[in-house]
Chain A
Amino acid sequence: MTDTSSGDYRWIPSAGLVFGLVAGILLVGAGLLFSRPQLVLIAAPILVSVIWTYQRRPRTQPSVSVGTTVAARTTSRADVAYSVEFDVPSEAEAIVVRLYERGRERSELVVDSATAALLSGEIEIVHSGPQELVRVDYRLVGPQGGVTTAPVVGPRSSRVIPPRLLPLRRLPLPFRMFGLSGGHDSSRPGDGGEFRDIGQFVPGDRLRRIDWKVTVRRGQGPGDLYVRRSFSTADATVLVVMDSRDEVAQLVTNRNSNLLKFDSVTSLDLAREAASSLASAYIASGDRVGFRDLARSTRVLAPAGGSAQLHRLLPTIAQTRPFGAPQRRVRPPIIPAGALVYLLSTFLDGEAAKMAELWRVAGHRVVAVDTLPPTTTEGLRSEQRGALRIVQLEREARILALESLGVDIIRWHPMNRHSPESQLAALSRVARRRR
């Protein structure tokens, strides 16, 4: 994918030309006036340089096209490779390229037009989600810098970076499961599941289910037939609810910044990773997965199964980001009956916790995924440390209250003592009938 921009720009003579000309004329004038040929001789190279520069100035207006191509990883060291192509007139002696790369400070290069024909570099990606990866501004410089163009804003390459997918094998299931087919055992009699019991043949039973040995042993009269009955299978309905109202970084001093200039993982990076991993794992096991964003009511995907649903889910999750002022909800989003709800939030305020509480009280199994990254308090003053401590205590109190209500808690961070996978595996062993 290439982002291009092109345009015609006007050459502007440098004020240095005028200064050089004035200085040269003054020196010549002074040399003539005071009979000093030395001054005339000193002025001569300056005047020749001015005239030479002016005569060689570009006569045509430059037309510049810049293409930025962001491709998939090309080396093992970086995440994204990009290339910038300039097509500039031959009169341009130099190009001042101002490069804004994701996660780096602005850099400036001065190159000639031949080198600028293809500039390529690589950048590391720390964050997932929508982001501007490369931006190129530039300025053309004519011979000797005597004429230049005004700085030009070039193309911007923005991409949606998909989050990393963690392999999750054992996953918790809802308390109750609906549906007549799927990958999980149901408590209802039917087909597809494990052995349930032996019963008398009734109209509708399949003939191949007749257990002839039991019929011979138990049958008390002609026509008595016994069949082996089994449990039916069912699929789980899972709803992933992401709280994208805020995005906080590890470094507390960066948490008030609305720019993603920090190079450490953020809460939304973790939330995207968790949501994508959970959705992929449940879809792979044949379950129905839906998605909902607490911040925006338009970002909703109804539960469904299959790879088509996964192809809808992953881009939707990857594009999640804070948008505008968060709105306060009057009532929680409606959850399908019997669904397992994953609520991904930092729990820095009470909104998400309130939703989890209401869903749990309504009988849903709720797993609260804490996506707040480990806190780094570097650069905090003592009063800020105190304020942070209060916020942390309030957050812990919310999480403890949820736990006491029967909400399962998972701390999602790769650096955590217990990996997300092991925490989910532990939850999968909890009895489904727990109320």
Chain B
Amino acid sequence: MTASAPGLAARPSVRFRPAIGRSIPASVVRLILAVVIVFLCVAVIGWQLLLAVALVFALAALAFPTGPMAWLLAGLLAVVALGGYAQPPDWRFFAVLAGAHLLHLAGMTLRWLPVSGPVQLRVLGRILRTFVVIQVPAQIASLLVLTLLAGRSVVSTLSSPAFGIVAGAGLLLLVVAVVIPIVRGGPDR
């Protein structure tokens, strides 16, 4: 037992929390995510009735991060951002391409992120770095694919037997390689 004697008079509260370097409050992280998601919803959907549904999903995703609302919102935005069959992609598609990925990461992160308290920027930086590493090639590939497909019959390309076999095999591989091990491991809650 080694500690000095306490002073008896009430003293002003002085806070000496552990120094963790550059950090940002978790509440600010949540606020930034909320602003980005709401902005994305308004930009992609516009001022129509569907926006209310999207905002409810967004609110639920932020308030109850253990649920699947973030991914439901990503699906909704993906459907809304669809253009015409043979039209070149507009900016909304690329926004949703990044937004859906961001919603996926937000849904994963908000599960363990505390409501308040500092979050080290280095931790957020790692998540964002992975986001960028995956997102940049995805944006470039999407631009190339959709530009190449623009003006052609997408229906004939995608409904050919060869494409169906390749897509089916890819799905099967995905299920065997990822889905079964994850389901065996079990979700956290």
B-binding residues in A (CB < 8 A): 1, 12-23, 25-29, 32, 35-39, 41-54, 70-73, 77-80, 84, 93-94, 96, 98-99, 104, 107-112, 115, 119-128, 133, 139, 141, 143-146, 148, 150, 159-165, 263-265, 269-270, 273, 414-415
Contacts and interface: CB of A to CB of B under 8 A. Distances in A.
B58 to A, nearest CB: 15
B3 A79 contact: yes
Interface string B119-134: 1101100110010001
B161 interface: no
A162 B167 CA distance: 73
Contacts of B182: 13, 17-18, 21, 54
Contacts of B93: 38, 42
A25 B174 contact: yes
A124 B14 contact: yes
A45 B135 contact: yes
Nearest to A81: B16
B83 to A, nearest CB: 7
Return the 9 tightest CB-CB contacts between A and B, nearest first: A15-B187, A108-B117, A122-B16, A108-B114, A23-B71, A16-B108, A119-B18, A45-B101, A164-B5
B8 interface: yes
Nearest to A16: B108
7 contacts: A21-B179, A36-B154, A38-B146, A78-B14, A108-B115, A109-B17, A145-B108
A182 B48 CA distance: 95
Contact of B122 (A27, A98, A112, A126): A112
B81 to A, nearest CB: 7
A34 B174 CA distance: 20
A110 B120 contact: yes
A46 B145 contact: no
B41 to A, nearest CB: 15
Contacts, number: 267
B55 interface: no
B157 to A, nearest CB: 8
Contact of A35 (B70, B74, B118, B159): B159
Interface in B126-154: 126-127, 130, 134-135, 138, 141-142, 145-146, 149, 154
B2 A22 contact: no
B85 interface: yes
A117 B187 CA distance: 29
Contact of A110 (B71, B107, B123, B183): B123
Contacts of A37: 145-146, 149, 154, 158
Nearest to B24: A110
